[in-house]
Amino acid sequence: MTYDSLLTSLDRSVTKLVQLVSQVDEDFYDGHQTSREMLSHLVFWHREYVAITEALVNGRSPHLRQSTFIALNARSVREFQRLSMAQLCQDFLKYQQALRDNLCQLYDWEIEFPVKKGCRWATVPERLQIIQEHVDGHLARLERACRHGEAWVEAYYPSRDQAHA
């Protein structure tokens, strides 16, 4: 894939996810998390990607968080709890555009693109592929839950109370 096609593909996935999540209730449960939880952690990570790529563009070492993905994702839910779903959607699109802008300024796409301390590093194209797969995974799970409905989700996944116990 070319660099432009990687960016365009990620743009499409982010836009599609925003369109779908705009149509469901923030408490809609996809069998793994609510739409609010999912969107909060995607916005959190996109904000991180923007800060990291901004540092890379400016020749600085990026500030990397040191924690587990689980802890950081839980933090994102708490951090964004006061934002409306509309604001989260807007922020996700804004961060995607900023990520695209930063990457278009990057002189070398073969440099390492880290995301947090202790995480496997990857080149820019590899990281974009990972980000794309992450967004698409959430999109597919949300689409499947929307298509099949709440009864299907409850039949195939533990209830939220059991899952968070």
Question: Tell me: the pLDDT tens digits for 78-136?
Answer: 999 999 999 999 999 999 999 999 999 999 999 999 998 878 889 999 999 999 999 99
Cα–Cα distance list, 113 to 66, 100, 159 (Å) = 16, 14, 37
Q: What is the mean pLDDT of the chain?
A: 90
E-assigned strand segments in 12-109? none
12-32: per-residue pLDDT in tens?
999 999 999 999 999 998 888
Residue range(s) defining the domain that contains residue 151: 3-163
Residue with tokens 């794309």: 132
Give the span between the Cα atoms of 122 and 151, in whole angstroms: 40
Domain count, the chain: 1
Beta bridge partners, 20, equal none
Beta bridge partners, 58, equal none
Report the CATH number at residue 116.
Answer: 1.20.120.450
For residue 116, what pLDDT is reported? 85
Res. 164: pLDDT tops 50: no
Work out the average pLDDT over 137-158.
Answer: 83
